[in-house]
Amino acid sequence: MSTDVSADPAVLNLQTYLRIRSVHPNVNYDECLAYLRGQAQQLGLSVQEYTIVPKKPILVMTWTGSDPALPSILLNSHMDVVPVFEKSWKHPPFAAEIEDGVVYGRGAQDMKSVAVQYIEAVRRLKQTGFKPKRTIHLSFVPDEEVGGRQGMGEFVKSEHFRALNVGFSLDEGLASASSEYLVYNAERSIWHISITCPGKSGHGSLLLPDNCGEKVRYIIDKFMDLRQESKKKMEDNPELTAGDVTSVNLTILSGGIQNNVVPEKFVASFDLRLALSVNHQEFENMIKKWCSEAGPGVTYDFDQKDAFVAATPLDNGNPYWLAFKATTDELKLPVKICTFPGGTDSRYIRELNIPALGFTPIINTEPGLHQHNESLKLDVFMRGIQIYEKIIPALANV
């Protein structure tokens, strides 16, 4: 029989954070900052706040190590959460109500729970008298849920970030439906692309030449064929995950003003996540070729075009990985290495050639990020604190 931990101070701390409505759009982060400043004061950690982009604050708590000249450890989390459809929730999404040992709230998995696990692990370590060799920074950043470009994306370009002297970063992963802990050492590249297909406008009763509908059909067929290839790869190899293939989704199709008027253009927008094995230049050349084949005047534009970012190596040349893996082995945690299917702030860290891992210590839990009734079992949450209580010292003492 599991112990009721609903009154544990760590759980109450999580509930407090979940009740802050740091929800898109137009997030006001003031309440998050006040909460985090209070936590830092309780922990005896120094605090710095940076606003590189207006209304996009970044807060960093610092636990200075005994050898602060060494590259530091960064424990990163984002303060923002995605919007909710409140009527579809069984509990109010910002009430952090507990039922049958499960807390419900937006951010319960993604990723306020991880932020509180960092805080509570540091609290326990300080209570034991532990002193890290390397300095440990806890960063809390904005706007990850809308791409992070004005949050971590700008922060890593600043002198403030360089002054942190980061040697290794931990950030979010995903909840695991099995008993395996998922560890992410890479991410696919996000490309958001719009294909514009112009044509001759006229009466809907005519078979006009240079037709934008024919052009957009050709483009959609090409992208959907590519989508089928990825689906078949995953069907043929059950070991593959979503992060191992290129995903293709038609997300916006626009054009037309009236049913009996042939429009002058259609625009098809696609969300593409390029697998690590994809050569970016060859892939763009393929898209360029499709546009040429579709007909005269077909063009493409990128709303987002991430560069290729190499995976963090998991070998003997990465001492942080060796410390992480030695700890999970000691704790007898089964670990599965994956490529993250979406995007996290780790990609901005890896772009600087700083090793980074995505890790959310949540197992036997159906992933619920961005879904109705996002929730987390309290015993899993508490176990995650214990895990970080071992991992953080191991990394800090590399």
Distance CA 61, CA 118 (A): 11
Picking from 46, 212, 205, the residue whose alpha carbon sits closest to that of residue 136 is: 46
Q: At what angle do helices 9-18 and 30-43 cross, to 10 degrees?
A: 160
- Taking the CA atoms of residue 164, residue 169, residue 170 and residue 171 in that order, the dihedral angle to the nearest 10 degrees is 80
The answer to whether the beta carbons of residues 83 and 24 sit under 8 Å apart is yes
Distance CA 235, CA 237 (A): 6
Which of 110, 144, 171, 187 does the annotation list as catalytic? 144
Beta strands in 165-258, from DSSP E residues, in sequence order? 166-171, 181-187, 189-198, 202-203, 247-254
The answer to whether the beta carbons of residues 172 and 358 sit under 8 Å apart is yes
Identity at 224, one-letter amino acid code: M
Taking the CA atoms of 180, 185, 189 and 192 in sequence, report the sign of the dihedral they define.
Answer: positive
Peptide bond into 111 cis (omega under 30): yes
Note the helical H segments in 340-377: 346-350
Identify whether 80 is a catalytic site residue.
yes
Distance CA 32, CA 20 (A): 7
Identify whether 284 is a catalytic site residue.
no
Picking from 313, 362, 365, the residue whose alpha carbon sits closest to that of residue 333 is: 362
The two beta strands, 356-359 and 166-171, are parallel
Taking CA atoms, 169 is separated from 114, 124, 132, 165, 366, in Å, by: 14, 21, 16, 11, 26
Note the helical H segments in the chain: 9-18, 30-43, 112-128, 152-155, 159-164, 212-236, 280-294, 319-330, 346-350, 378-396
- What's the order of all strands across the beta sheet hosting 375-377? 98-99, 102-104, 375-377
Catalytic amino acids? 80, 144
